[in-house]
Copies of this chain bind each other. A is one copy, B any other.
């Protein structure tokens, strides 16, 4: 008998009607003779409401109490789902993470699942029951409630799928899958039927909101097939899976773009060995993530221009850190907050030469200027002026036959 883990996100269980709908979806799997384990997030809005209250209580709310507070959200949704399933005549019960237990390591609000004792869950599944497990949370070695960060319910589902040896893990969310590019940016965007972990990792890191990179990484490490589907519509979703021998026929799987990049250029930096390190060390210390970097070859061997990108929200802090950095001398700092990174992603590019050339040619044909370039094995990113993003996506989508 097939075993599936079904994970429902916050909007999927956002109100009483949605919970009833979700229980119909679950009953459909039961009718199809599946063993079903459910993982649920908190009802959408519930967690944010609790966070708001905690801020009124203290601007520096105790981390452990914060986790205790917000974890009530999943307890509520899971009790309601199990209550509804029983109402429908489907044997079910909720499991709080401490009842299983789901053991975690690491700091409060950023814990990671280390071990899950699935004995009780497996027994209940064997008896035909549907366990409903709280996502997003666990306990630490002090028996206190921990949470595993936003979107942590995906991680719970993936780790449970691993430990109960499920055949599939289906992530129900408010979008119906992963698209070749953001449909709001380009109307010809197509849903991807199958995407490989590494591609999905790049997509997630580069702005696709469907899944967090850490969850994709978990799935990859544990070789769990993930189906991303909409709980609002019935059409098929996107399968996220491992690279099989039969290669993808497509070179490029998807195109992503970012909205919150900023470009900084330090002009006329006095060039000497280790100058880049001197610039980036204070940024790193302040948790500012430097993404793309390009250093011009110095014309006279004395001075160089260094360009790099950061998140827009880090801009002011970065400017301040550079200005008070006494280890560097330079002529001026220039910056551009109207830039975006456009990336093409696909494992196919490993075996297909000339992709970079095709990308640059396509962009040039639309007179789109490339500001910075960065590449990895399965991804090429270019920084362009934000006004060119839509045009860039459109021309690349056509160039790589995604339309």
A-to-B contact residues, CB < 8 Å: 16, 19-20, 50, 53-54, 56-58, 60-62, 64-66, 68-69, 71-72, 75-76, 78-80, 82-84, 86-87, 93-94, 96, 98-99, 143-145
Q: Which of B64, B71, B94 contacts A93 (CB 8 A)?
A: B64
A57 contacts across to B, CB distance below 8 A: 16, 19-20, 80, 83-84, 87
Give complex CA distance A332, B158 in Å.
70
Given contacts A19-B57, A57-B19, A75-B75, contact A83 B96 (CB under 8 A): no
A65 contacts across to B, CB distance below 8 A: 79-80, 82-83, 86, 93-94
Whether B61 lies near A87 (C-beta < 8 A) is yes
Least Cβ–Cβ distance between A40 and chain B, in angstroms:
13
Least Cβ–Cβ distance between A368 and chain B, in angstroms:
50
Whether B80 lies near A53 (C-beta < 8 A) is yes
A62 contacts across to B, CB distance below 8 A: 82-83, 86-87, 93
Least Cβ–Cβ distance between A53 and chain B, in angstroms:
6
A72 contacts across to B, CB distance below 8 A: 72, 75-76
Least Cβ–Cβ distance between A23 and chain B, in angstroms:
9
Q: Which 6 A-B pairs have the closest CB atoms?
A: A58-B87, A69-B79, A72-B72, A68-B79, A65-B83, A62-B86
Least Cβ–Cβ distance between A269 and chain B, in angstroms:
45
Whether A56 lies near B16 (C-beta < 8 A) is yes
A16 contacts across to B, CB distance below 8 A: 53, 56-57
Give complex CA distance A84, B50 in Å.
14
Give complex CA distance A349, B325 in Å.
87
Q: Which of B19, B69, B94 contacts A80 (CB 8 A)?
A: B69
Which residue on chain B has the smallest CB distance to residue A72? Answer: B72
Whether A83 lies near B99 (C-beta < 8 A) is no
Least Cβ–Cβ distance between A159 and chain B, in angstroms:
21
